[in-house]
Chain A
Amino acid sequence: MTVESTAARQPRRSAGSKAGTTGTKAAGTTGTKRTTARTTARTAAAEPELVQLLTPEGERVKNAEYDRYVDGITPEELRGLYRDMVLTRRFDAEATALQRQGELGLWASLLGQEAAQIGSGRATREDDYVFPTYREHGVAWCRGVDPTNLLGMFRGVNNGGWDPNENNFHLYTIVIGSQALHATGYAMGITKDGADSAVIAYFGDGASSQGDVSEAFNFAAVYNAPVVFFCQNNQWAISESNEKQTRVPLYQRAQGFGFPGVRVDGNDVLASLAVTRWALERARRGEGPALIEAWTYRMGAHTTSDDPTRYRHDDERVAWEAKDPILRLRRYLESAHHTDEGFFAELETESEALGRRVREAVRAMQDPDHFAIFENVYADGHALVDEERAQFAAYQASFADVEGV
């Protein structure tokens, strides 16, 4: 099979039923006749083809394949998605501000990626398991992880901060791509247990270059593991754009491993929800892994340590502003008369209250006890750790004597 080169690729936006989809025929099937070259129509336009249910203008567009996953959605649920995105953005903005104030050592903002995260996060079931990167604040929100728990590692008071099994939301992983394999292994365990839960692994366009991610794809395919690979392609791996990571659209990689790949408009919460529901449901039915590439944009810096003005033009960011995930859902809600001014006003109040709560919680976060260094190094203990803890205690006590004189 040949895949067209990047140079030859002329992407377009399409709401067609097979848009941005490869190899959806059956799990583990490599024999599909439909090649990526044929599914990617070569017409000159600004946007790559992807699954979209809500246009940036907030218009609902039909999609024969994915409409069924959101057909029954109620106005209340739509307002819920809107609320999730607004509160996540508010939380994120507060964290960025707290970093600027010196309360956090670092922050990795999700600004611009709210729809991809809320849409996919709300598609998960309680018994599903989520493996995030370090930027999935919106997914954490959907899983019920208290947002203040996410801030501990960025403040430098812990290296994790929550019990992963409480919400089936694994700890943030900083080493790029490692968690894709953990997710696959967890999914293999689900199969062995005969359960019908699924796993979703988050990673970014940069991580797609890591060996661990390719290995995860292969293990998942070989063992037909119920795992959904959710790649938020936010266009930038720190300073490196997509063309430094890949020469084919990322979703097309799935086909080579033997499972379907779909590109979804990651700024469209409804499409992100629908496509993730599709992928999770087929995983639960035993049809194996799927790759979702959520086409989105990192509106801010990589982290608060980064300065994107050194490597990208602001007009790119401005162009993406017009595709804002929150704005488009608001337009849709308003045009469908699903909301009134009271809704937005109440949400504004709730949003400010969340910001206040986060601010106060962070400022109240105590530095850990010094002896925490020696805690939980081993499950069964270790003589050397005990010895060093005792030495540390004696050393600390020597200061107390001096100060006590």
Chain B
Amino acid sequence: MAADVTAKNLPLAKAINESLRRALEEDPKVLVMGEDVGKLGGVFRVTDGLQKDFGEDRVIDTPLAESGIVGTAIGLALRGYRPVVEIQFDGFVFPAYDQIVTQLAKMHARSLGKVKLPVVVRIPYGGGIGAVEHHSESPESLFAHVSGLKVVSPSNASDAYWMMQQAIQSDDPVIYFEPKRRYWDKGEVSTEAIPGPLHKARVVREGTDLTLAAYGPMVKLCQEVADAAAEEGRSLEVLDLRSISPLDFDTVQASVEKTRRLVVVHEAPVFFGSGAEIAARITERCFYHLEAPVLRVGGYHAPYPPARLEEEYLPGLDRVLDAVDRALAY
């Protein structure tokens, strides 16, 4: 196969940057808003250089007020704009939660479909970077639980680029969770070849003995787990779910019908987490195929711990392998 001449090797953060740049270039209605997104280029530099090239009217440093950011993005969307707003860290989204849940999520239904709110809310999320409180959380279930919102999380640079394109093009509000600990991981990004629909899961590694399902930062870990398991002669299939709401249960079902065992991995607490929904649905769909209960590996029912304890709190290679062993022991 000929090499894709448009392919670039980019860190995940830079892939999002290039995607935002393209959206700003192609659609004059696209706006980028948030705290420090302008001159500073965001605390993670995801919006680096955009204000310089597109001006303060389109790349907007907002006052320090998350409810204000999302609330005004809703107003701009009502006026025909497509705002992409940044919440600086996962733990800071909650002042905006009211606007997201009571307004952003429900406006389309309340208006009987007359109003569309194509707002993208970017949230760097997850731990593993040794940060202080409120900088390492994974609140995706709190959004997936709300009808009217779509919730996605890319795991790699190519998806980060294309899923941002697709999220901006979507006429529904999209909560776009960015795996901050993978911001600096590089990957091939083609600016021509679309890797697939926004809400479709992907088999990233084929296997026969057990399925590992993950999204965002945990996909890389699951691939490492599959490597380690392979050394012990076990063949694990790895799914990158990519989208949490809607969730591509068909792809999970097809995989589980083959492997008969499923372990779901996420950083968020297991209790009422996305893994619980996946376990329930797959049990309903694949009851006669399953050789073991669907197991979940994730955070505990405890506040995200101080940085020196996060390795114990977060799913790691050993904890996922432990769950794999338990599932295979049935």
Contacts and interface: CB of A to CB of B under 8 A. Distances in A.
The answer to whether A and B assemble together is yes
Interface of A: 105-106, 134, 152-159, 174-176, 206-207, 209-212, 237-240, 244-246, 305-306, 310-311, 367-368, 370, 372-374, 377, 382, 384-385, 388, 392, 395, 398-399
A311 B40 contact: yes
Given A154-B132, A209-B63, A239 B36 contact: yes
Contact of A373 (B43, B305, B307): B305
Contact of B132 (A106, A176, A207): A106
Contacts of A311: 39-40
Interface residues of B, number: 40
Contact of A206 (B64, B94, B271, B300): B64
Nearest to B60: A244
A106 B131 contact: yes
Interface string B26-67: 000000000110111101000000000000000001111101
B65, B306, B307 pick with most chain A CB within 10 angstroms: B306
Interface stretch (B213-221, B230-238, B308-316): B308-316
A155 B67 CA distance: 30
A240 B35 CA distance: 8
A306 B313 CA distance: 27
Nearest to A240: B61
A252 B216 CA distance: 46
A344 B92 CA distance: 44
Contacts of A237: 35, 64
Contacts of A244: 61-63
B116 interface: no
Contacts of B41: 310
Contacts of B80: none
B134 interface: yes
B62, B302, B313 pick with most chain A CB within 10 angstroms: B302
Contact of A245 (B64, B131, B308, B319): B64
Contact of A175 (B65, B91, B130): B91
A156, A238, A245, A310 pick with most chain B CB within 10 angstroms: A156
B40 A368 contact: no
Contacts of A207: 64
Interface in B219-278: 271
Given A176-B64, A210-B65, A246-B63, 18 more contacts: A134-B132, A156-B308, A174-B132, A209-B64, A209-B65, A211-B95, A240-B63, A244-B63, A306-B43, A367-B308, A370-B309, A374-B300, A377-B303, A384-B301, A388-B302, A392-B300, A395-B319, A399-B318
A377 B300 CA distance: 11
B130 A105 contact: yes
Contacts of B318: 399
A374 B302 CA distance: 6
Contacts of B94: 175
A237 B39 CA distance: 13
A390 to B, nearest CB: 12
Given A238-B40, A384-B271, A384-B301, A209 B68 contact: yes
A377 B92 CA distance: 21
B25 interface: no
A368 B95 contact: no
Contacts of B135: 174
A176 B92 CA distance: 8
24 contacts: A156-B306, A159-B133, A159-B305, A174-B133, A175-B92, A176-B64, A209-B64, A210-B64, A210-B65, A210-B95, A238-B40, A238-B43, A239-B61, A245-B64, A310-B39, A368-B306, A368-B309, A370-B309, A373-B305, A373-B312, A374-B300, A384-B301, A395-B319, A398-B322
B64 A240 contact: yes
Contact of B309 (A154, A209, A372): A372
A80 to B, nearest CB: 32
Contact of B63 (A175, A245, A368, A398): A245
Interface string B58-87: 000111110110000000000000000000
B41, B65, B68, B318 pick with most chain A CB within 10 angstroms: B65
Contacts of B67: 211
Given A174-B132, A368-B308, A377 B64 contact: no
A153 B132 contact: yes
A385 B64 contact: no
Nearest to A311: B39
B43 A305 contact: yes
